[in-house]
Amino acid sequence: MTLTEKDSQYLWHPYTQHKTSQTPIAISRGEGALLWDENNKEYIDAIASWWVNPFGHSNKFIADAIYKQLTTLEHVLFGGFTHEPAIKVAEKLMEILPKNQQKIFFSDNGSTAVEVAIKVALQYFFNKGEKRTTIIAFENAFHGDTFAAMAASGISFYTQAFQGMFIDVVRIPVPVKGQEEASFDALKNVIENHNCAGFIFEPLVQGAAGMVMYEPEALAKLIEICKEHNVLTIADEVMTGFGKTGKTFAMDYVDENPDMICLSKALTGGTIPMAITTFTQEVFDAFYDDDINKALFHGHTFTANPTGCAAALASIDLLQTNEMQANIARINKSHLEFQSKIENHPKVVTARTLGVIFAVEIKSEAEESYYGSMRTKLYNFFIDKGVVLRPVGNIVYILPPYIMTDVQLQKVYKTIEEAIVMV
Ligand SMILES: *Cc1c(COP(=O)(O)O)cnc(C)c1O
C-alpha cells in the first residue's frame, strides 16, 4: 500500500469531508521553502504550511536548539516547578512585545491561547464582582476551534453545528476602508446595550477570512472606545505575529496597546506546538489575592514545555537577525511590484499587501463560497504546478517563508497569473 492508501484507511483530516475530498499528498521531506512528496515531486510552500514556518523547513539552527534541550531537560511539569527556557522566553518577549505586556501564560496551540484570553476576560470581571459576560468580535473573524474561540469566530460553517451552545458574542463590522464609522458606531452601540467584558480581534489582517486588511488608525480608535468603557482588549496575533506584517507584531503599527495578546503559529518557527497568552500587570492583579478562588484555574499538561521554549528562543533569534529582516523587506517590495502589475488585470477585483502577506481577489460570476468550485479549480491548478497555495473562495493569498528565494517567489507569481487567466 502507498502512504496515501494507508492514510485513507486510518486517518481523519482537519476541515475535510472525506467522502468528496481528494486524497492527501504524502510529503516525505522539506528544506527551505521546498517540500517533496513520496514520488519526489517538488512543491514550493507558498503559505508557510498554514502560516507557521517563517524560516524554512528542517531548519538546522532551530533543530540544534531542540536537540540540545531534549537531551538536557525535555519536559517537566509547570505546576509547582519552573525552568530556565520558560524564563528566557518570557524575558525575550518582554523585550519585543508592546511595553504594557508584563505576564505570560503558556499553552500549546492558537485556539487555547485565545481560550485562555477569553476566560481571563470573563473571570477578571467575576473576580471584581462585576457582571460582564459579553465578548465582542469582528464579523468573519477566526480565532480557533475550541469552544470559546469558536464562539468568537464568525465564519459560519465552522460553527453552525454548535449554535445556541456558545458564550455571548456580539459581532461588529470590520473597519475596512470606507466602513470605519460604521464599525466605531457598532462598537459603541454594543457596549451601551450589553455587559461587555472583552473585545477580541485579529489586528490589521483577518487571516482565515481571506487576508482582509484594515488600517491601524481604525483599530486604535476601537481600542480607545473599549478603554473608555473599561472593556478588555485582546489582540489575536496568532497569525500576524513574528514578522508577518513587516513589523514584529501587527500591534507595533497601532498607537494603542491591548490588554492581552495571543501568540502561536510562528512562535516556534513551525517546529513544536506551543502558544502563549500575554497580559498587563493590571489584568494579572485581578487574580492576585489571598482568596484561592480568584486564581486562574486553567492549565495544560504540556504547559511551557522546555523543548518548545528552546524552539521559540531559537526562532526569535533568527527573526531578529539582519538577514531575516532584510528578507521580510525584500518579499514586501516584491509583493508590491507584483500587486501593481496585476491589480488592473480585467479579472482582478483587488490586490493587497502588508509585510509578507499578499492577497488577490479574482472576479467570479457567482458568489464564491469558501470551498466552492473556483477554489477547487484554483487549488488543483496550483498543486499540479508544484505550488502550495490554499485559496479562500476566490481569494488567492501568499504568505511565504521569509527565506523564500526571488526565483521561487517569481514562480509563485507566474503561477498565480496563469491561474487568473485559466479560471
Ligand atoms: C490559526 C489561528 C488560530 C488557531 O490556532 P490553532 O493553533 O490552529 O488552534 C487562532 N487565531 C488566529 C488568528 C489564527 O490564525
Q: Is the CB of 107 under 6 A from ligand 1?
A: no
Instruction: Give the pLDDT band of residue 99 (cuts 50, 70, 90).
Output: very high
Question: pLDDT band for position 373 (50/70/90)?
Answer: confident
Establish whether residue 221 lines the binding site of ligand 1, counting it when its CB lies within 6 angstroms of any ligand atom: no
Residue 376 has pLDDT above 80, yes or no: yes
Phi, psi of 364 (to 5 degrees): -140, 150
Mean model confidence pLDDT for the chain: 96
- Which of 372, 284, 329, 314 lies closest to 102, judged by CA? 284
Residue nearest to atom 7 of ligand 1 (CA): 110
Closest CA to 259 of 293, 305, 288, 226: 226
Find out whether the beta carbon of 45 lies less than 6 Å from any atom of ligand 1: no
Question: What number is the average pLDDT over the span 229-252?
Answer: 98
Pull the grid cell for residue 84.
530556565
Here the cell at position 244 is: 508577518
pLDDT value at position 371? 67
Query: In ligand 1, which atom is closest to the CA atom of 208?
Result: 15
353 to 68, 246, 363, 376, 421: CA distances (angstroms): 38, 10, 18, 24, 21
Split at pLDDT 50, 70, 90, the class of 386 is very high
Over residues 39-53, the pLDDT tens digits come to: 999 999 999 999 999
Pocket test for ligand 1, best of 264, 272, 302, 399 (most atoms within 8 A of CB): 264
Average pLDDT over residues 249-270: 98
Instruction: Kindly report the backbone phi and psi dihedral angles of residue 99, in degrees, each rounded to the nearest multiple of 5, phi listed first.
Output: -60, -25
Q: In this structure, are residues 32 and 401 in contact, taking their beta carbons and an 8 Å threshold?
A: yes
Write down the pTM of the prediction. Answer: 0.97
Q: Is the pLDDT of residue 367 over 70?
A: no
Asked whether 203 lines ligand 1 (CB < 6 A), one says no
Q: Is 264 in the pocket of ligand 1 (CB under 6 A)?
A: yes
Amino acid letter, 331:
I
Reported as a single tens digit per residue, the pLDDT across 322-340 is 999 999 999 999 999 999 9
Would you say how long the chain is, in residues?
A: 423
